[in-house]
């Protein structure tokens, strides 16, 4: 297993063993597992991370910023490309090449699918994909797996339901692929126009994954986790279609009975109106804890790609 110098672009580039190793490494940064108040700021002291956010973000950008600083890194970059030379017409690959020479790790979010791969082809330093259009969001997937592992104590043998925008949602694409490496039953719940794309279902079939598809939330849903998602307004070509579909999959206070039955509710956030805030205080509504876990995963990933943490 080699992580030093590695790009994190596509969840398919990681084996089950590698994913489990990343989850194990993240535990070293999680106060739930590390009781002593040990500071980690010497781990990557003197290293620089460049954050290139061509698309808005709260959690991913801020948790990477926090993670980098917690392990002692300096930060450069932008979240408003219009305030850079891109505004003057600089090409994507020139921008990447320049940032590559000023930093030790590059973290990029971009509206185009496969843009992270393009950046990695130009950059010498490791590139971490923080979301490439509708395609993937591998570090979100790792924190999702970490959350499931922490809550259920295992991944093999669980059932995960994915709901909402399964067509445009990059989080559910990468998560479904990652779960397919484990013995996990997957349940897809969406409007038919927002169903999980065939290219992903084909992979699941080839990996002999058990999955079911529903057009509404089954009354008797049996699952360890329900992963709710936002309808991705910004990816719709026809906003009228968005308006027609957007409110079809809202979890209102009547969802409490599912939570009472032990189903844990996850969401990558941001939510718009798809989870009623009245559910937030339920112990099985775990989306804020999930977002917090992103910090530990990102500390682990930065330390791993910099080769600053030993394999154990
Ligand atoms: C998601 C994203 O950007 O893909 N958010 C996140 O990174 N936590 C989900 C979304 O935007 O709906």
The rounded Å distance from CA 57 to ligand 1 centre is 8
Model confidence at 4: pLDDT above 80? yes
Which atom in ligand 1 lies closest to the alpha carbon of residue 165? 12
Does the annotation count 28 as an active-site position?
A: no
Give kind and range of the element (H or E) at residue 228: strand 225-228
With 0-12 / 13-18 / 19 or more C-beta atoms within 10 angstroms meaning exposed / middle / buried, residue 202 is exposed
Contact call for residues 159 and 222 (beta carbons, < 8 A): yes
269 Cβ below 6 A of ligand 1? yes
Question: Do 11-136+294-305 and 138-291 share a fold?
Answer: yes
The tens digit of pLDDT for each residue in 43-58 reads 999 999 999 999 989 9
Does the annotation count 88 as an active-site position?
A: yes
119 Cβ below 6 A of ligand 1? no
The tens digit of pLDDT for each residue in 226-275 reads 999 999 999 999 999 999 999 989 999 999 999 999 999 999 999 999 99
User: Model pTM?
Assistant: 0.95
**Domain ranges across the chain:** 11-136+294-305, 138-291
DSSP state of 100: H
The tens digit of pLDDT for each residue in 142-200 reads 999 999 999 999 999 999 999 999 999 999 999 999 999 999 999 999 999 999 999 99
pLDDT category, 311, cuts 50, 70, 90? low
d(CA 149, CA 20): 10
CATH architecture of 138-291: 3-Layer(aba) Sandwich (3.40)
Token digits of residue 15: 């084996």
DSSP-assigned beta bridge partners for residue 107: 51, 128
Decide the pairing of beta strands 159-163 and 185-189: parallel
Class of domain 11-136+294-305: alpha beta
Does the annotation count 91 as an active-site position?
A: no
The rounded Å distance from CA 221 to ligand 1 centre is 25
| Closest C-alpha to ligand 1, atom 1 | 268
């Amino acid at each position: 297993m080699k992580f030093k110098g590695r790009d994190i672009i596509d969840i398919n580039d990681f084996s089950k063993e590698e994913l489990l190793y990343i989850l194990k490494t993240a535990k070293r940064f999680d106060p739930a597992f590390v009781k002593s108040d040990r500071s980690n700021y010497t781990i990557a002291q003197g290293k620089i991370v460049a954050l290139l956010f061509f698309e808005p973000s709260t959690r991913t950008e801020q948790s990477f910023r926090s993670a980098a600083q917690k392990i002692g890194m300096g930060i450069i970059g932008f979240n408003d490309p219009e305030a850079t030379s891109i505004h003057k017409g600089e090409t994507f690959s020139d921008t990447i090449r320049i940032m590559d020479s000023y930093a030790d790790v590059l973290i990029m979010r971009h509206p185009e699918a496969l843009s992270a791969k393009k950046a990695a082809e130009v950059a010498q330093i490791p590139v971490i994909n923080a979301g490439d259009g509708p395609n993937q969001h591998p570090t979100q997937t790792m924190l999702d797996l970490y959350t499931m592992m922490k809550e259920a104590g295992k991944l093999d043998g669980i059932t995960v339901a994915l709901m909402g925008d399964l067509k445009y949602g990059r989080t559910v694409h990468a998560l479904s692929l990652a779960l397919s490496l484990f013995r996990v039953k997957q349940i897809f719940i969406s409007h038919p126009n927002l169903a999980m794309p065939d290219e992903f279902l084909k992979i699941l079939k080839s990996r002999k994954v058990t999955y079911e598809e529903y057009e509404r939330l089954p009354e008797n849903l049996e699952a360890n986790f329900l992963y709710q998602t936002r309808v991705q307004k910004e990816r719709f070509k026809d906003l009228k279609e968005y308006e027609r579909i957007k409110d079809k999959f809202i979890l209102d206070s009547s969802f409490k009975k599912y939570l009472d039955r032990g189903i844990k509710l996850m969401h990558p956030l941001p939510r718009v109106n798809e989870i009623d805030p009245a559910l937030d205080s339920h112990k099985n509504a775990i989306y804020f804890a999930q977002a917090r876990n992103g910090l530990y995963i990102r500390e682990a990933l930065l330390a791993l790609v910099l080769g600053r943490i030993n394999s154990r």
